């Protein structure tokens, strides 16, 4: 049975993540060609890979998204601003920034508003879209997430995003793992963010059912590495 939504529409929800620290230039090329094959929304890449990624996808319908302050958000505001300017100059039209997590945990909301506002202003001036990563594995208090949503509403960012996929926390058995995009956090972010702000779910989305679930909760973008697996599965049930 075919459904009303198309595989093309599902693909345009995907920022194909090419962020693992071990990825080489050849890994980047391989993954960019996957992104081009499936016509996803963007390739999400490390800052030094932006220029090469932009060359590979030039002239296509796939954008280049760059991460800054990734994955722990610890750079100063000035460095994050300069990093944003650099990735945009190199060809990024979307920017995913990690907030200063420590400042959020100590409730220094003015610092965070200054940080997000400064980077968003650079993006606006250079026709780029900003996505603000909360890193919800570390920012676990709902009141703090709501306050971050309110700041993003005030600054008028493009998207808020759950996670980096690298927010590892110690588990009861002593290992390290992350939760990523939970249903609870997506519902909360959609409830407290203005309708004009998009929601990006990232972390733990590996199957078509995961993509459809987060879509139903209000996410309009997802960060995934399993693009091929998800969209190949979608082709069995949806029209192109």
Listing DSSP states for 93-153 in one string gives SEEEEE--HHHHHTT-HHHHHHHHHHHHHHHHHTT-EEEEE--TTT---HHHHHHHHHHHH
For the chain, percent of residues with pLDDT exceeding 70:
98
pLDDT band at 174 (very low <50, low <70, confident <90, very high): confident
According to DSSP, residue 47 is labeled G
Quick one: average pLDDT of 42-53?
98
CATH code for the domain in which residue 138 is found: 3.20.20.70
Quick one: average pLDDT of 214-236?
97
> What's the token pair of residue 221?
């973008």
H helices then E strands: how many in the chain?
10, 12
pLDDT band at 179 (very low <50, low <70, confident <90, very high): confident
**189 has a pLDDT exceeding 50:** yes
Query: Distance between the two ends of the chain, CA-based, in angstroms?
Result: 13
The total number of structural domains that make up the chain: 1
pLDDT value at position 206? 95
pLDDT, tens digit (0-9, with 9 covering 90-100), for 109-161: 999 999 999 999 999 999 999 999 999 999 999 999 999 999 999 999 999 99
Catalytic residues: 96, 161, 200
**Average per-residue pLDDT for the chain:** 95
pLDDT, tens digit (0-9, with 9 covering 90-100), for 52-110: 999 999 999 999 999 999 999 999 999 999 999 999 999 999 999 999 999 999 999 99
**2 has a pLDDT exceeding 60:** no
Range of the domain at 76: 3-239
Which of 2-16, 88-102, 159-173, 184-198 has the lowest average pLDDT?
159-173
- Euclidean distance between CA atoms 189 and 160, whole angstroms: 8
pLDDT band at 1 (very low <50, low <70, confident <90, very high): very low
pLDDT value at position 96? 98
For tokens 């400064």, what's the residue? 118
- Helices 50-57 and 77-90 pack at an angle, to 10 degrees, of 30
Distances, alpha carbon 50 to alpha carbons 56, 91, 141, 175, in Å: 10, 6, 34, 33
């Amino acid at each position: 049975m075919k459904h009303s939504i198309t595989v093309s529409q599902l693909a345009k929800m995907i920022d194909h993540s090419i962020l693992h620290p071990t990825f080489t230039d050849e890994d980047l090329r391989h993954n960019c060609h996957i992104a081009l094959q499936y016509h996803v929304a963007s390739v999400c890449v490390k800052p030094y890979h932006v220029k090469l990624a932009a060359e590979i996808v030039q002239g296509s319908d796939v954008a280049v998204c760059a991460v800054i302050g990734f994955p722990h958000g610890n750079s100063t505001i000035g460095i994050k601003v300069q990093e944003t300017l650099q990735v945009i100059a190199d060809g990024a039209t979307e920017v995913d920034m990690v907030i200063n997590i420590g400042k959020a945990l100590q409730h220094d909301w003015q610092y965070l508003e200054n940080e997000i506002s400064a980077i968003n202003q650079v993006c606006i001036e250079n026709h780029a879209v900003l996505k603000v990563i909360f890193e919800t594995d570390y920012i676990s208090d709902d009141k703090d997430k709501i306050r971050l949503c309110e700041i993003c509403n005030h600054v008028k960012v493009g998207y808020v995003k759950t996670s980096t996929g690298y927010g590892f926390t110690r588990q009861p058995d002593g290992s390290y793992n992350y939760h990523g995009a939970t249903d609870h956090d997506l519902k909360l972010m959609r409830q407290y963010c203005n309708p004009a702000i998009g929601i990006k779910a990232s972390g733990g989305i590996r199957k078509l059912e995961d993509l459809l679930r987060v879509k139903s909760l209000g996410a309009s973008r997802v960060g995934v590495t399993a693009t091929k697996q998800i969209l190949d599965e979608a082709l069995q049930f949806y029209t192109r």
